[in-house]
Chain A
Amino acid sequence: MRSGRGLVAVGIEIALAALLLGAAGLGLWQLNRPLPNANALIAREIPDSAALVDARGPLAFGRGHLPGARHLWSRDLLSFEESAGSLADSEELERAVRPLRLEPGAMVMVYDDGDGEEAALVVLVLRAFGFDARFLAGGVQAWSARGGELSTTYAPEQEASPVELEFDRRLVVEPAEAHAHIAANEVAPIDVRAREGYLGGHLEGAVNVPVSELLAGGDPPRYSVLSRSLGPARITRDTHPLVYGATPGQAALAWLVLAAYGVEHIHVLGDPYPALVEEGFAISETSTPAATSTRTSSVCWR
């Protein structure tokens, strides 16, 4: 009788220990596995079929670029009319992208000097136009470090292609639309500026995920960084992340890493934070996000 009871208890204890180890092991694996999506957005090799686009300035491009690269300076995607460097409107963007003469849906490898913001912005815009744009990890620095030759052949002025291009306004959202989304609680705003900038004021309800923190996630990026950074943001099936930064390039780089991590349905605001303040977005200075998101912020789940 007694030993029978003891046997049952031992069985239960072994089963529970196995479950516990399983949960811990699954967690450890999940936290540290390379991300499956990373290669779809961040490339390390250049496939033969891919077009190459250099996102650096004309001087750098002229001094030497990857052989066969076409040129689209990320600055040409910005508009400096109203405020400091918002992403241009879709017609202007189309005028900038057209001379690349890319086939619809073509695979494009984009690079810059290795800093990332310039190339990320071009990847974002090309993706919004429906191209299979990817970020070439490390840019020119990594290329040269691997012994790659740089070409100085001047790329001739190219004619615009006649194809219809359509700009995806769900990926790159207009401020007015973002405003409505925030008011309706349909998005989780994510501020990707450095901590100091965020503490000085940010969109109401925004969670701070500094882009530097995302980039510290290793190469290839690991899930743990994402789960830590996005933990406080309440992202659900119906509440999509809305990314904004100090510049469109910074927002684009954060978007790129998040998307590579497998975060879906990200909206990017093409306007830098100062422009959003001018646009009349609600600003908050408390570091704990307001409304619904406090419930999952770092303090409330214990």
Chain B
Amino acid sequence: MAILVISGLAVGLAFGYALQRGRFCSNTGFRDVLLTADSTMFRAWALAVLVQLVGVTALNSLGLLPISVPPFWWAANLLGGLVFGAGMVLAGGCSSGTCYRVGEGMSGSLLALLAFGAGLLVMDRGALAPLQRALQNGVIGADGESLTLANLLGVNSWLVVVPLVVAAGWWLFRSGGSKYRSGGWSWQRSGLTLGFVGIAAWLSSAASGRDFGLSMTGPLRVWFEGIFLGGLALDWGAFLIVGLFLGAFVSAASHKELRWRVPKGERLLQSAIGGLMMGLGAQLAGGCTIGHSLTGLSVLSVASVVTTASIIFGAWATSWWLFVRPARQFQRQSQPAITGD
């Protein structure tokens, strides 16, 4: 039914709106934990995962929702995650962050997005396709099923979900937030909203015959492939992307945050390189911070756990190298000047 495919647009609108309001970006979330010891965005992300995890597991165990689990290719997940994590720090946003910023008028993000598309195609169809074929083979999984934390331990999903929710929930609500805000949502509100958008995405997308939740890598590739290589097949995900841009645009416009922003030239180049790396990494790992770190985790996929860990490691290493290391050098240089005053 066409309306089911187009319902991707409705989910995308809400998704884009929530991303912009919550300033939600896994890059910010993962990076700030290291860079400024600020876990506000990380909490939003964790809450979104938990809400979706409980919702999807409940719908699935009631037999109301079929789910599919990303396959575990350890080498592709590890390498792709690292490259993606490094790329998102350079580009200043993960795939969702980049996309919602395009909706706000960030020129660097637009450039990163185009480079992301190029990266997807190079890894999927271009020069690096043999690497993808080599690393994405060798699916590890019990009797053909993709590996999840539950079937790895041989237990019911709830036996994994409940302890996870209790532990993470305790950590989440232990301490509060901050005073100044630019009119964006609190982490609680972002996390809850994105969690519910994620559940709605599973339902709506599965009904259209695409049984997975929110994702960006695949849908973006559909668009880039369709535009540059021909044969555009509009599925649920393709509409999700359109909705995302529109939703972020509506959110930014209605809050007067819309503005064409142009950074200096070297930063544009950095965004483009970062975008390209994100594209290569996401395609290799079979997903990005949305497909793996939000949706894949909600079905306890081992591939998603590994990819997410790898993305965080890649992001931290790059952040350290780009921001922490130069700051330390700078402090060492400027120390005498300050004390001399």
Contacts and interface: CB of A to CB of B under 8 A. Distances in A.
A298 B71 contact: yes
Interface stretch (A25-33, A54-62, A122-130): A25-33
Interface stretch (A73-81, A164-172, A226-234, A269-277): A226-234
Nearest to B196: A20
Interface string B54-88: 00000000011110101100000000000000000
A84 interface: no
A26 B204 contact: yes
B38 to A, nearest CB: 26
B296 interface: yes
B286 interface: yes
A201 B142 CA distance: 18
A17 B64 contact: no
A35 to B, nearest CB: 13
Q: How large is the interface on A (under 10, 10 to 19, 20 to 34, 35 or more residues)?
A: 35 or more
B310 interface: no
Interface of A: 5, 8-9, 12-13, 16-17, 19-24, 26-28, 30-32, 195, 199, 218, 223-225, 227-228, 230-231, 286-287, 296, 298-302
A30 B1 CA distance: 10
Contacts of A19: 10, 13-14
A27 B13 contact: no
B11 interface: yes
A8 B211 contact: no
Contacts of A21: 200
Listed from nearest, the 3 A-B pairs whose CB atoms lie closest are A302-B291, A27-B203, A302-B215
Interface in B175-220: 196-197, 199-200, 202-212, 215-219
A302 B218 contact: yes
Given A5-B254, A228-B66, A302 B204 contact: no
A297 to B, nearest CB: 10
B14 A17 contact: yes
B295 A299 contact: no
Contact of A28 (B11, B64, B247, B254): B64
A23 to B, nearest CB: 4
A231 B327 CA distance: 50
Interface in B246-263: 247, 250-251, 254-256
B144 A13 contact: no
A95 B286 CA distance: 54
Contacts of B64: 28, 31-32, 224
Contacts of B14: 16-17, 19-20
A298 B66 CA distance: 13
A30 B4 contact: yes
Contact of B207 (A31, A195, A199): A31
A231 B209 contact: yes
B313 to A, nearest CB: 21
A26 B66 contact: no
A59 to B, nearest CB: 37
B3 interface: yes
A43 to B, nearest CB: 25
A220 to B, nearest CB: 14
Interface of B: 1, 3-4, 7-8, 10-11, 13-14, 17, 63-66, 68, 70-71, 136-137, 139, 143-144, 146, 196-197, 199-200, 202-212, 215-219, 221-222, 235, 237, 247, 250-251, 254-256, 286-288, 290-292, 295-296
B66 A302 contact: no
A302 B203 CA distance: 15
- Name the prevailing secondary structure of the A interface residues: helix
Contacts of A230: 209
A15 B337 CA distance: 57
29 contacts: A12-B250, A12-B251, A12-B254, A13-B17, A16-B14, A23-B10, A24-B11, A24-B199, A24-B203, A24-B204, A26-B3, A27-B202, A27-B205, A27-B208, A28-B203, A28-B207, A31-B66, A195-B144, A227-B206, A227-B207, A231-B211, A299-B70, A299-B71, A299-B286, A300-B286, A301-B212, A301-B235, A302-B215, A302-B218
Contact of A22 (B10, B17, B292): B10
Most interface-central of A195, A286, A287, A301 (chain B CB within 10 A):
A301
A287 B139 contact: yes
Contacts of B205: 27
B255 A9 contact: yes
Given A20-B196, A23-B7, A302 B206 contact: no
A30 B235 CA distance: 17
Given A24-B199, A299-B70, A302-B212, 16 more contacts: A5-B255, A8-B254, A16-B14, A19-B13, A24-B11, A27-B203, A28-B64, A28-B207, A224-B206, A225-B66, A227-B209, A300-B218, A301-B210, A301-B219, A301-B222, A301-B237
Contacts of B66: 31, 224-225, 227-228
A283 B59 CA distance: 38
A24 B59 CA distance: 12
Nearest to B68: A298
Nearest to B287: A302
A301 B17 contact: no
Contacts of B291: 302
A296 B215 CA distance: 13
Contacts of A12: 17, 250-251, 254
A9 B66 CA distance: 35
Nearest to A300: B218
B231 to A, nearest CB: 9
Contacts of B218: 300-302
Contacts of A302: 70, 212, 215-218, 286-288, 290-292, 295-296
